[in-house]
Structure 1
Amino acid sequence: MRPGACLLGGFELIGQGCRVEVVTEIWQRATATQPPPHPQVVGVIAVIGMILVLYRRTWPVTRLLVTITHEGAHALAAMLAGRRLTAIHLNSDTSGLTVSHGKARGPGMIIMLTVGYLGPALAGLGAAALLAAGHSIGLLWLLVLLLSLMLLLIRNAYGILVLLVAGGSVFLISWYLDPVWQSAAAYLITWILLIAAPKPVIELIMQRRRGGDRSSDVAQLVTLTRIPGPIWSGLFLVCSLAGLALGTAVLLPSLIELFEPMFTG
């Protein structure tokens, strides 16, 4: 099959017409709506997500998803605050670093530092809203786009590897799997973000109690604002837990209905 080529799923492509066809195909897939899975299926996926977050051996992998979101939130806030974003690092110990240039103090710096720990919960809520609207496949393509943009800012080899694997995996799921499995993957990613969001905050609180925190977002916020660390940590924890509760209400309204009689009498 050559002159003019195309084919899409089996690749082959070639020529501007084919590129337009690929973009059109992706747009159609991303904007199509899918019915939500049965609540029991959503519940099973939630349990799988919880296991992946709470199990000691899988947590380093799922934590990378949280770190990507955390650093992505820093990067977005830095740009919106008018700071010059220069680099993002993702490290093998699941930590990360976002480097931007601008005023060392002031609202822009405070906003950038604040949104990091709020990022996973906010991203999880946004993803839950897309799923509730029937855009599970659209969510996957949005992730491909965001991971591709983030890759342009990564400045260390491990970070590049992580984003290539993550972005490539989501792309393959979005392009090749049946819609039912694409929907399941979108729900799993969303549940992991919602369930995992409070855990790094709890880890940070424990680290600060041991006196081992000198450079975290909270430590820098204390220096910039003179507001005590426990207030910042408490704010991040409350917001993360609230995000989990709201996300659950969006994804599993039937679960909320089970507990409604307890509060309504």
Structure 2
Amino acid sequence: MNTDTDGIAEVWDRVVGTQPDPSFAVVAVTGLVALAVVAARGPWRVARNAVTIAHEGGHGIAALLTGRRLEGIRLHSDTSGLTVSRGRPSGIGMVLTAAAGYTAPSLLGLAGAWLLAAGHVTALLWGATALLLAMLVMVRNAYGMLTVVLTGGAFFLVSWFTATEVQAAFAYGVVWFLLLGGVRPVFELQAKRRRGEAPDSDADQLARLTNTPAPLWLLLFHAVALCSLTGGGRWLLGL
């Protein structure tokens, strides 16, 4: 019995405790790798699935926090997604739910950067695993379930079976990717709207909900992404 208690206490200490900061070289290299993944078309096409998980997860969390009923989440192989919630078709709850998608990856990256700056590498990895597990319950299609399981499995395996240095490198790479990966989709959306390819985008839905022009919502998305990248980057680099 004491052994079980000691084991639980040890795990808890790992989660809430702090880990040594990696070297500046590790922080810089993981940032450059994340930048290369976001900038290159091929790697981005695959890695964008992770941004979609964060995007749709943001919609889902906002819906729950504002009292809406979350019906389900679907993730598609073309990296698009859909989150369905029930409730009032207008009002602050619907506005916050619609606005949470494009801002979620950057804000999650900012929160992750704060945790890493405080030395909580394991807490970040376990927290991400818990969020992905909670999201899995609401995913309603096979591809979405596979994507979330693989992503959550990667976080769990790294946090449980690898050395501290590997955990830190993985965590910094993920946070850099969220911060940088939160910027590109907003530019992609802007380009699609310019070509008339996204008439029902989050920005357009927000425009109808608030009688505010869609470009102003795009500006908000840009501001959140770039400010998060600036602030989170400073935390990661120890500036």
**What band does the TM-score fall into relative to the shorter chain?**
over 0.9
Q: Distance in 2 between matches of 1:186 and 1:49?
A: 12
Q: Distance in 1 between matches of 2:8 and 2:73?
A: 28
Question: Which residue is 1:77 aligned to?
Answer: 62
Question: Which residue is 2:25 aligned to?
Answer: 40
**Percent identity of paired positions between Structure 1 and Structure 2:** 45
Q: Is the 8 A contact 1:154 1:160 kept in 2?
A: yes
Q: Distance in 1 between matches of 2:191 and 2:105?
A: 20
TM-score by length of 1: 0.86
Q: Is the 8 A contact 2:117 2:238 kept in 1?
A: no
- Superposed, which structure 2 residues align to 1:81-120 within 5 Å? 81-120=66-105
Rg bigger for which structure? 1
> Which of 40, 48, 70 is equivalent to 1:55?
40
**Structure with the greater relative contact order (CA < 8 A, sep ≥ 6): 1 or 2?**
2
Q: Is the 8 A contact 1:33 1:134 kept in 2?
A: yes
Aligned residues: 239
Question: Which residue is 1:225 aligned to?
Answer: 210
- CA distances 1:93-117 after superposition (whole Å, capped 9, x unpaired): 1111111000011111001001111
Change (3 A) 1:204 1:141: same
Structure 2 unpaired stretches of 5+: none
Residue 23 (structure 1) shift: 4.6
Question: Which residue is 2:197 aligned to?
Answer: 212
Q: Distance in 2 between matches of 1:97 and 1:19?
A: 42
Bigger Cα displacement from structure 2, 127-136 vs 215-224: 215-224
TM-score by length of 2: 0.95
Structure 1 unpaired stretches of 5+: 1-15, 255-265
Question: Which residue is 1:188 aligned to?
Answer: 173
User: Could you say what the CA RMSD is over the residues aligned between the two structures, in angstroms?
Assistant: 1.6
Q: Is the 8 A contact 1:127 1:190 kept in 2?
A: yes
Q: Is the 8 A contact 1:62 1:192 kept in 2?
A: no
Change (3 A) 1:153 1:119: same
